Amino acid sequence: MIMKYLTRKWIKPEDLNPNGSLFGGSLLKWIDEEAAIYTITMLQSPYVVTKLMSEINFVSSARAGDVLEMGMKIAKLGRSSITLKCEVRNIMTRHTIVKIDKIVFVNLDSSGLPSPHGKKLADFSEEDV
């Protein structure tokens, strides 16, 4: 599966848990932000919200000094929603840190209600889907 890796994060001491590895909450915050930016870019709409994040599979850990890269890919389009897949990996070792099979965002109108985004899978490049 081809996935776009767009954002990199450098693990710093303030990102660690008491065990000295990356705090999962920090990673999930970064993933949600990257997924939102990716969705905004793909749908060309600044009005999106996270609806669902499926099972989060922590595969390996990261430590201070590691550099991670976050990959996103469109898995499915609904009328007003977009579903992404995500993989975060260590940029140097290529070891997977976390995988999420389903992150769903909903496109909103200016009133905050679900709104059709008008996109089709054919609107995106091969590396996006």
Q: What is the pLDDT of residues 56-74, one digit of tens each?
A: 999 999 999 999 999 999 9
**What mean pLDDT value characterizes the chain?**
95
Give 33's contacts (C-beta < 8 A, 6+ positions apart).
none
CA triplet 71, 29, 22: central angle to 5 degrees? 85
Per-residue pLDDT averaged across 77-86, rounded? 97
Q: Give the pLDDT confidence of 18-60 residue by residue, as tens digits.
A: 999 999 999 999 999 999 999 999 999 999 999 999 999 999 9
Residue 2 has pLDDT above 80, yes or no: no
- Dihedral sign for Cα 49, 54, 58, 59, please: negative
Record the pTM.
0.93
Residue 127 has pLDDT above 90, yes or no: no
CATH superfamily of domain region 4-123? Hotdog Thioesterase (3.10.129.10)
**C-alpha span between 34 and 15 (Å, rounded):** 17
Residue at 45: amino acid letter: S
